[in-house]
Chain A
């Protein structure tokens, strides 16, 4: 709780929080102190000179003040008023006012608002165009130097929030402007199009391209018409003053409001859980606007969350149910389609038994939809064969956490990761797969000296930035993790106090570490012993360590064991339950955490309660109003096993909701033949996906922005999303489809809103007891477990672990060789994963042309040493052959990969990576070992263009700096402190 204080502002006493930025404090009291360059997320940049006030007779920039008891401020003194006006006059010398035809005049333009608030009669300095053209090279946003006020918020956001370190301003140059990589076009630079700069720009200097011509009644006019209108108004303004013109633009901003809808939503790409406002006008998505209120991401987004929403209005959207008939799909009514689905599913159940049906819930759909999926499977069909795509990614991590600490989720929040002394990334290309979390780590390292340790075979951006980068051989992570644990015990770095207080099985575990000497680790992992010692010392001596891991760990044949080893290491060093500590499996889809949390698991009810537990079954049966024996006590099949069962004719029917199983499951040849052998298959999706092509009935579903619901992000944070658009055509939200389907199967649950589904779940599952839509309203969120009174748990294990004796357990492990490794014939390992620009099978990102402009197609990354040995250049085609199949790709030579390891992006379906991957899986959770794919490489006599265009950000050269160098501006001989007038306001 903040201390209260009372300040005096223009003679008025105001009470609020002490040590709060003055601008925010005043805003909370309904007082707008003009400030253009101040942003709550960026702090005081002191570049605009528009917020001068007097404190104790001295002129001070208001944005630099923080409140304290007795602070007395005057804004009405002649000097302060004159200084503010001089500051604004300098901004207007750089920024051409044409608000009524400007896309940004929507009520939140800070330049426009400051002009209005200050009631400026006329600007002192004439606007003159700068000798720089508009930069329209990016497919996503535009920079207009003539509108740029040189406030530097974009620079600050790029350098110190996103930390992509692309933008700068050289205030000492003759005609300052924002520079990309020191002077490149946007699209030729290292810009990752994350949109931070556009989000914080206070005016229209940086503008989303989707806004152009769309926001106001006059914004669609061509510039051939806008320009003479602007010149005419300027001429008239010299006589009649700016006030009537400002009045018109105020009217314009006002009449735009009814047409522009701002809806809070949550991103549907990765698991960071970015929330933001989506601005729409009718069905047109104007822009995505993050705010500092968003609990997970604040003002941050990545390229996909900010700009890749074209799929929502794609002409390829399914809008009518389809029924397979005579080898073709024909359009059908909802009644006909749902009746057919209901009758066929019941028929299969009655003929072949409940175990003959399987359900795959969606990691992209809502918690409520996951809940209904498992409820239909368990209650109506009587099977526990219900799963989600976490089977393909994070189930091994969850298993590792269950074995050691008890909860299958991140131990803390993104704030914990930010405040850790050391962050360890293992098998996680965080900068591309969880870009906003990567930004937090990069900022902590850059601004606060956080240490970053990266274990990864691939030298991605985070590896390049790491204080320690260790490059293990594929599938050997359990060894170094265990060796580090042993090092801790052997060198007095184990947290003995924590172990004795909170951890069981310490001695047995310590004894099991005997084989894991540093020498053994060096031999098997290929990491030099000294590097292992350096890492151990850094981790062991740190006060707080967060360890993040992802698919580079889990998609191996012993991913559960390696995840366990990582959690063991955190326990040994006492890194659970304290600020800045814990294990963080990075969830890959927006709701892959929630799909598991809400019961799409073959062995768990919602809230991770075992289906084999009689008491649990009784409670769920009671909650659902059925007899306990209606619910199966047997574990079902997961995704992978369902597909195998289908191929063995044990599974007869499947319902797949929003999952591209035909693309994402390993060894797609077998998956496709398994689907072909099903008696009946239903797919709910937005598009006729590859999976849907195998279906007998396809039901058109809505994306998140056309419905309401909740998601759970990687932090365990439950967030609400709201409906921004009406359903397209005859498509329907999945929760409605499932409710209607259940009714047609004899179970009319009568849900009219997702909140009712959540309320039902909360009334049965202790983990979500206090979750309600009211408690999740707006930007509010809850991190599970949530007690009945609404108390949530941002940090787990602060008061012990969820076991009988409140203690964690060290889990004994043995090193096992991977199930597939390189040999003489298949001499290369094919690493694979995502790229920043695309997502999964491109069903969403593939609808944005701008994304394709960045990455036009597939390629395989080849190391420089391999390229030299095989005479491979960018664009040389190679044939990659695994033990399953053979595909051809153009090569990209890069030192991101080393030696005999290749890297193949997973996004491109023809040919796809899963034609090459095998069916060997983790024996505990049956996650396919996608990363264990041995291949041979053959160079083809075929050369094409380099697969990545030269404009791709990976070829840019970043220009790191400390942020906005306002001191350079102040040090300039020309600079005059307001209220003195400026000789060259366009530069200053």
Chain B
């Protein structure tokens, strides 16, 4: 008589395991030449880096890096809603400028894209007209932010900057 034996079944393998998934990925990368490229890059990394560093380490490149960084820093300082407001306004302004057509102003036949304009409005205002414009609250309301921006821009230009990082952080530095 055979005695009772306790036995734990070895769990069967169901579905691909991580190794098989990895093998498939490696095969796909191989078929599409990605591995070959990666190998080439890794094998020549020092030379590639030398070229990269050599290219970047020129005054023009350094200026570009820093200028791009300045843009990034400036953008990082603006609240998104304010930047959105300005960019939207800028967008609409550009739209208006883009829509302006001198030929229409000079009485030529309007194109299909532009609405009919009043020739009177596009003609030179003259002294009287200028005087009237100075009393045009609606126009003044439109121009005022631009003038305020110009003033801030001008004042900022007058302030000397030694190192941007000091200007931003307030901490003087002799340099790293």
15 interchain pairs (CB within 8 A)? A122-B169, A122-B176, A124-B171, A124-B174, A126-B175, A221-B46, A225-B46, A229-B53, A234-B176, A238-B164, A238-B173, A238-B175, A239-B70, A240-B69, A242-B165
Question: Is residue A236 contacting chain B, with contact meaning CB distance below 8 A?
Answer: yes
Question: Is residue B117 contacting chain A, with contact meaning CB distance below 8 A?
Answer: no
Question: Is residue A127 contacting chain B, with contact meaning CB distance below 8 A?
Answer: yes
B67: nearest chain-A partner, CB-CB:
A239
| Chain A residues closer than 8 Å to B151, beta-carbon distance | none
Minimum CB–CB distance for B166 against chain A, Å:
7
Cα distance, A518 to B25, chains bound together (Å): 86
Q: Assess the A225–B50 pair: CB atoms within 8 A.
A: yes
Q: Assess the A232–B46 pair: CB atoms within 8 A.
A: no
Q: B4-12, B54-62, B104-112: which one contacts chain A?
A: B54-62
Pick the contact of B165: A97, A125, A229, A240 (CB < 8 A): A240
Q: Assess the B65–A236 pair: CB atoms within 8 A.
A: yes
Cα distance, A234 to B57, chains bound together (Å): 11
| Chain B residues closer than 8 Å to A170, beta-carbon distance | none
Cα distance, A236 to B64, chains bound together (Å): 10
Pick the contact of B62: A97, A125, A232, A242 (CB < 8 A): A232
A233: nearest chain-B partner, CB-CB:
B176
| Chain A residues closer than 8 Å to B46, beta-carbon distance | 221-222, 225
**Which one of B49, B70, B72 has the highest number of Cβ atoms from chain A below 10 Å of its Cβ?**
B49
Q: Assess the A241–B169 pair: CB atoms within 8 A.
A: yes
Q: Assess the A232–B57 pair: CB atoms within 8 A.
A: yes
- Convert B65-94 into 0s and 1s, putting 1 for each residue whose CB lies closer than 8 angstroms to a CB of A: 110011011000000000000000000000
Q: Assess the B69–A123 pair: CB atoms within 8 A.
A: no
Question: Is residue B168 contacting chain A, with contact meaning CB distance below 8 A?
Answer: yes
Which residues of A225-254 have CB atoms within 8 Å of chain B's CB atoms? 225, 228-229, 231-232, 234-242
Cα distance, A125 to B164, chains bound together (Å): 16
Cα distance, A97 to B169, chains bound together (Å): 19
Cα distance, A124 to B57, chains bound together (Å): 24
Minimum CB–CB distance for A408 against chain B, Å:
46
Minimum CB–CB distance for A87 against chain B, Å:
14
| Chain B residues closer than 8 Å to A221, beta-carbon distance | 46, 49
Pick the contact of B174: A126, A225, A237 (CB < 8 A): A126
What number of A-B contacts does a CB cutoff of 8 Å give? Answer: 76
* Known A121-B165, A122-B166, A241-B168; contact A234-B175, beta-carbon cutoff 8 A: yes
B173: nearest chain-A partner, CB-CB:
A122
Minimum CB–CB distance for B69 against chain A, Å:
4
| Chain B residues closer than 8 Å to A239, beta-carbon distance | 66, 69-70, 163-165
Q: Assess the B57–A238 pair: CB atoms within 8 A.
A: no
Q: Assess the B172–A124 pair: CB atoms within 8 A.
A: yes
A240: nearest chain-B partner, CB-CB:
B69
Cα distance, A878 to B166, chains bound together (Å): 73
Q: Assess the B176–A232 pair: CB atoms within 8 A.
A: no
Cα distance, A412 to B69, chains bound together (Å): 64
Q: Assess the B53–A232 pair: CB atoms within 8 A.
A: yes
Minimum CB–CB distance for A889 against chain B, Å:
49
- Convert B147-163 into 0s and 1s, putting 1 for each residue whose CB lies closer than 8 angstroms to a CB of A: 00000000000000001
| Chain A residues closer than 8 Å to B66, beta-carbon distance | 235-236, 239-240
Pick the contact of A123: B53, B57, B65, B173 (CB < 8 A): B173
Minimum CB–CB distance for B163 against chain A, Å:
5
B168: nearest chain-A partner, CB-CB:
A241
Pick the contact of B173: A126, A228, A231, A235 (CB < 8 A): A126
B73: nearest chain-A partner, CB-CB:
A240
Minimum CB–CB distance for A220 against chain B, Å:
9
- Convert A831-863 into 0s and 1s, putting 1 for each residue whose CB lies closer than 8 angstroms to a CB of B: 000000000000000000000000000000000
Minimum CB–CB distance for A28 against chain B, Å:
32
| Chain B residues closer than 8 Å to A121, beta-carbon distance | 165, 168-169, 171
Minimum CB–CB distance for A146 against chain B, Å:
14
- Convert A211-228 into 0s and 1s, putting 1 for each residue whose CB lies closer than 8 angstroms to a CB of B: 000000000011001001
Q: Assess the B173–A124 pair: CB atoms within 8 A.
A: yes
- Convert A89-100 into 0s and 1s, putting 1 for each residue whose CB lies closer than 8 angstroms to a CB of B: 000100001000
Pick the contact of B176: A222, A225, A229, A237 (CB < 8 A): A237
Q: Assess the B173–A236 pair: CB atoms within 8 A.
A: no
| Chain A residues closer than 8 Å to B172, beta-carbon distance | 124
A220: nearest chain-B partner, CB-CB:
B46
Q: Assess the B49–A225 pair: CB atoms within 8 A.
A: yes
* Known A231-B57, A232-B56; contact A97-B176, beta-carbon cutoff 8 A: yes
* Known A126-B175, A236-B69; contact A241-B165, beta-carbon cutoff 8 A: yes
Q: Assess the B53–A238 pair: CB atoms within 8 A.
A: no
Cα distance, A229 to B57, chains bound together (Å): 8
Cα distance, A122 to B70, chains bound together (Å): 16
| Chain B residues closer than 8 Å to A234, beta-carbon distance | 175-176
Minimum CB–CB distance for B150 against chain A, Å:
25
Minimum CB–CB distance for B145 against chain A, Å:
29
- Convert A117-149 into 0s and 1s, putting 1 for each residue whose CB lies closer than 8 angstroms to a CB of B: 000011111110000000000000000000000
| Chain A residues closer than 8 Å to B70, beta-carbon distance | 239
* Known A236-B62, A239-B70; contact A125-B174, beta-carbon cutoff 8 A: yes
Cα distance, A228 to B57, chains bound together (Å): 7
Minimum CB–CB distance for A225 against chain B, Å:
6
Cα distance, A239 to B73, chains bound together (Å): 9
Cα distance, A232 to B62, chains bound together (Å): 8
Which residues of A264-295 have CB atoms within 8 Å of chain B's CB atoms? none
| Chain B residues closer than 8 Å to A125, beta-carbon distance | 173-174
| Chain A residues closer than 8 Å to B49, beta-carbon distance | 221, 225, 229
| Chain B residues closer than 8 Å to A229, beta-carbon distance | 49, 53
Minimum CB–CB distance for B3 against chain A, Å:
20
Cα distance, A507 to B11, chains bound together (Å): 75
| Chain A residues closer than 8 Å to B173, beta-carbon distance | 122-126, 238
| Chain A residues closer than 8 Å to B174, beta-carbon distance | 124-126
| Chain A residues closer than 8 Å to B65, beta-carbon distance | 236
**Which one of A125, A225, A241 has the highest number of Cβ atoms from chain B below 10 Å of its Cβ?**
A241
Cα distance, A569 to B13, chains bound together (Å): 71
Q: Which 9 A-B pairs have the closest CB atoms?
A: A126-B174, A121-B169, A239-B66, A240-B69, A126-B175, A239-B164, A241-B165, A122-B173, A122-B165
Cα distance, A240 to B64, chains bound together (Å): 12
Cα distance, A126 to B57, chains bound together (Å): 20
| Chain B residues closer than 8 Å to A97, beta-carbon distance | 176
| Chain A residues closer than 8 Å to B53, beta-carbon distance | 225, 228-229, 232
| Chain B residues closer than 8 Å to A235, beta-carbon distance | 62, 66
A96: nearest chain-B partner, CB-CB:
B176
| Chain A residues closer than 8 Å to B164, beta-carbon distance | 238-240
Cα distance, A92 to B175, chains bound together (Å): 11
| Chain B residues closer than 8 Å to A92, beta-carbon distance | 176
| Chain B residues closer than 8 Å to A231, beta-carbon distance | 57
Q: 15 new A-B pairs (CB below 8 Å) besides A121-B169, A122-B165, A241-B165?
A: A97-B176, A121-B168, A122-B171, A123-B173, A123-B176, A127-B176, A228-B57, A229-B53, A236-B66, A238-B173, A239-B66, A239-B165, A240-B164, A241-B168, A242-B165
| Chain A residues closer than 8 Å to B171, beta-carbon distance | 121-122, 124
Pick the contact of A237: B50, B56, B72, B165 (CB < 8 A): B165
| Chain A residues closer than 8 Å to B175, beta-carbon distance | 126, 234, 238
Cα distance, A240 to B70, chains bound together (Å): 7
Cα distance, A242 to B171, chains bound together (Å): 12
Minimum CB–CB distance for A111 against chain B, Å:
14
Minimum CB–CB distance for A618 against chain B, Å:
32
| Chain B residues closer than 8 Å to A232, beta-carbon distance | 53, 56-57, 62
